[in-house]
Homo-oligomer: A and B are copies of this chain.
C-alpha cells in the first residue's frame, strides 16, 4: 500500500497518517518528494482494508501494491507446471501444444463420434463437448447431462482422446470428475467460489476459463482458490473479453498469454471459438494464439454446424480444422514447440480395425 499525500498537505497531516498506519499494526515509510510526500506501508500480511486512510485530511490517493497470489505465483514455483495424464502421452504445459477440439455441445452418439474421428485424425489429443451448457436463456438447449458424459467416455475408449467438459455445479462436477479427464470451469463461473473450491477437491485437472471481464489478478486468484484446496493441476484459458468492439462477439486478449507466463507457472491455452464467435475469425486467431506462445488451443468443430443445437456459427468444419492444424504445426515449430501426433497414431489404427469388425 502506498498513501500519496496532496501537494499542500502539512507535516502534521503526514504525521497523522503515519500514526494511523502504525495504529493499524503496520509500518509507515515516509518519502518526502519535490512536490508531495508518499508514505509506504509494509508489515501487512493480508490486504490492508483501510479505506479511512483515503478520507484523512491531506490524503490524495491510496494505491494498492501487494499482489495477493501465492500458490499460482512463479515466486512460489519458478518452473512451469506440466500436467500429465495416466495412460496417455498427452500433456499440457510442456513443449508440445495441447490441442482440444470438438463440438460445443454433445447432441448424440453419432454426432460425437463423427466429429471425434475427424479431430483425432487431424491431430487433436483432447476432445471437448458440453454435457451441461450454461445458456443465457432458460429456454435454450441445456445439454444432455450424464448421457452426454457417457457418450464422451465412449469417445475416449474408441479414439484415445482425453475428455474435457464443463461442470456447472456440485452435482455435475462430481459426475464430470468421474467420467472425464479434465474438468472445465466456464467463464460465467470463474468467480463462483464455491464451485472453485469444490473443483479444488476433485481428482482431475481443471481447465479454468477467464471470466468475460476478469482482470489478470482476478483470473489468477480464481486459480488460487482451486489450488488452495489441494488441486495443483490448473490450466488457464483465455476466451475473449467483453469490450465495446462489435466486429467479434468478444475481444480475444492474446497479450494475457505472456502476462500470465511472466507471473505464474501455470499453463495457459486459448479458445479462439468463443474468443471471436465467428467461424471466419477462428483460423487466423488460432494461428495468432500459437504465435503468441500459448500452450494449446481449444477449438469448436462441428460437421453440420447449421443444425448444431448451440454455437454453430463459431464452429469450424472438419476440413477447416485439418487446414488449421497444418498451419499451427508450422508456426509452433518457429517457436521451438511441437504438436504431438495426437490420438490417432496411438489408437486410430487399432480402432479402425475395431470399427470394421
Interface, chain A (partner B; CB < 8 A)? 2, 4, 6-8, 24, 29, 31-36, 38, 40, 42-47, 49-52, 54-55, 60-61, 63, 65-68, 70, 73-76, 78, 134-140, 168-170, 172, 188-189, 191-195, 197, 212-213, 215-218, 221, 224-225, 228, 241-248, 251-259, 262, 275-276, 278-281, 284-285, 287-293, 305-306, 308-315, 327, 330-331, 334-335
Contact = CB atoms under 8 A, between A and B. Distances in A.
B49 A42 contact: no
A315 B51 contact: yes
B313 A52 contact: yes
A327 B243 CA distance: 30
Candidate in A50, A61, A285, A292 with the most chain B CB atoms within 10 angstroms: A292
Candidate in A24, A278, A308 with the most chain B CB atoms within 10 angstroms: A278
Contacts of A197: 138
Q: How many copies does the complex hold?
A: 4
A46 B255 CA distance: 29
B34 A43 contact: yes
A8 to B, nearest CB: 5
12 contacts: A2-B2, A49-B310, A52-B306, A68-B137, A70-B139, A134-B193, A139-B228, A189-B191, A213-B244, A216-B247, A241-B251, A254-B254
Nearest to A289: B288
10 closest A-B pairs by CB: A51-B313, A33-B42, A291-B291, A213-B213, A169-B194, A188-B191, A288-B288, A7-B75, A287-B291, A247-B259
Nearest to A70: B139
Contact of A292 (B6, B33, B285, B312): B285
Given A284-B292, A311-B49, A66 B36 contact: yes
